[in-house]
Chain A
Amino acid sequence: MLVVAEREQLPVQQARAGEPEAWDVLFRRYQLPLYVYVFEWVHDEQSSLDIVQETFIGAVRHIGTLRDDARFGSWLFGIAHQKCIQLWRQQSRENASLEELSNTPVEFAEDPSDWLIREEQETGFVQLLNQLPLPQRSALLLHFVGEFSLEEIADTTGARIGTVKSRLHYARKALKALWEEKNENAP
């Protein structure tokens, strides 16, 4: 069972009504996690800030397309995710394909808070995270940073729940393997 943080009440309905104060609360809540997610995709500060800005403005203009107020977070990350893919395609920085991994549903029993990392290992952890293939990294970042459920990650990335489970499973496995390898090689 995937453990996610309990959701706070967000003024999505007021934002729909066009109240700037409500938008301020929503953007304040998501600005840093969204930026982290985008940055870990594109690895460029300016592009990440541009994408966050476009995402916010897109959200303001297209709030009418949000069907479930409780899913505001994953909907917002979904807009950013699409923009990241667009940029990634334009730049073609990586040759790694976005091919679907095995759709075999794997039980993913993981709480983000279970991953406790010592201060001296923080940089190493981020480096290892960046070594993961893009779809796995994306799923793991949404899990870590966005604290989204499997359904929400599936919504955000446009993948099936089984695929998300699989990606998270392989990402975790790969990350652990890299972690152990790194620790073994450490003096």
Chain B
Amino acid sequence: MKTPREILLTRHAPANEKLDAIRQKAIRVAGDVNRRTTPDREFTFAAAPFRALCSTLGHQLSSLLQPSPQAWAALAAVWVVILSINFSLRDKPRTISQESAPPSPQAIAVLQQQERLLTELIGQSSALEAGSQKPFLPRPRSERHAEVRTA
């Protein structure tokens, strides 16, 4: 009398020879992987915990997302709608300012009058400045001597 395990293992026992060869090959790969990673360990000792953290995070995330992909897809769709509404509202003020009506002729006339007044005022002030006496500024001594000599 045998258990199912014993029956199955006995039936496939002849494959062991081929499996031994496969095992040897895999062990060689393990040796290669070990040789390739060993020198890096001295410099990147912080990489292992980082990689472990990444894999843990990835696993947690996948276990979180896997149970209800449809719910997550629906949530993503809602976010797309919210973002599109947000963008469309942000664009509105710019379009309003771009689409505003041109100024009326009266407003243009008022503006032109104000401009004229301003230029007049500026003109007067510059004339006044020209007419006023210049304050006394002492000249270099050499120039004063030349004036005395010519006199």
Nearest Cβ on chain A to B37's Cβ, whole angstroms: 7
Q: Which residue of B lies closest to A37 (CB)?
A: B8
Chain B, residue nearest A56 (CB): B26
Complex interface: chain B residues within 8 A of A23 (CB): 26-27, 30
Interface: B25 (CB within 8 A):
yes
Decide if the interface of chain B is mainly helix, strand, loop or mixed.
Answer: helix
Interface stretch among A60-68, A77-85, A88-96, A100-108? Answer: A60-68
- The stretch of B13-21, B70-78, B97-105, B116-124 that contacts the partner chain: B13-21
Interface residues of A in 105-126 (CB under 8 A from B): 112-113, 115-119, 122, 125-126
B51 an interface residue at 8 Å Cβ cutoff?
Answer: yes
Summarize A's interface: helix, strand, loop or mixed. helix
Query: In the complex, what distance in Å separates the CA atom of A41 from the CA atom of B125?
Result: 103
A28 to B21, CA, bound (A): 11
Contact B30 A112, beta carbon cutoff 8 Å = no
Chain B: CB-nearest residue to A15: B30
Given contacts A60-B33, A144-B8, contact A27 B23 (CB under 8 A): yes
Query: Chain A residues with Cβ under 8 A from B8's Cβ?
Result: 36, 40, 126, 141, 144-145
Which residues 1-53 in B have Cβ within 8 Å of A in the complex? 1-5, 7-9, 11-13, 15-16, 18-20, 22-23, 25-31, 33-34, 37-38, 48, 51-52
Given contacts A18-B33, A20-B34, contact A45 B15 (CB under 8 A): yes
Total contacts A to B, CB within 8 angstroms? Answer: 114
* A35 near B4: Cβ-Cβ < 8 Å: no
> Interface size for chain A: under 10, 10 to 19, 20 to 34, or 35 or more residues?
35 or more
Residues of B within 8 A of A116 (CB): 1-3
For the complex, what is the distance from the CA of A120 to the CA of B7, rounded to whole Å?
11
CB distance from B78 to the nearest CB of A (A): 28
Could you pull out 25 A-B pairs where Cβ atoms are within 8 angstroms? A18-B33, A20-B30, A23-B26, A23-B27, A31-B16, A32-B12, A32-B15, A32-B16, A35-B19, A40-B8, A48-B15, A49-B18, A49-B22, A56-B26, A59-B26, A60-B33, A64-B51, A64-B55, A116-B1, A117-B4, A125-B4, A126-B11, A144-B4, A145-B4, A145-B8
On B, residues with C-beta under 8 Å from A are 1-5, 7-9, 11-13, 15-16, 18-20, 22-23, 25-31, 33-34, 37-38, 48, 51-52, 55-56, 59
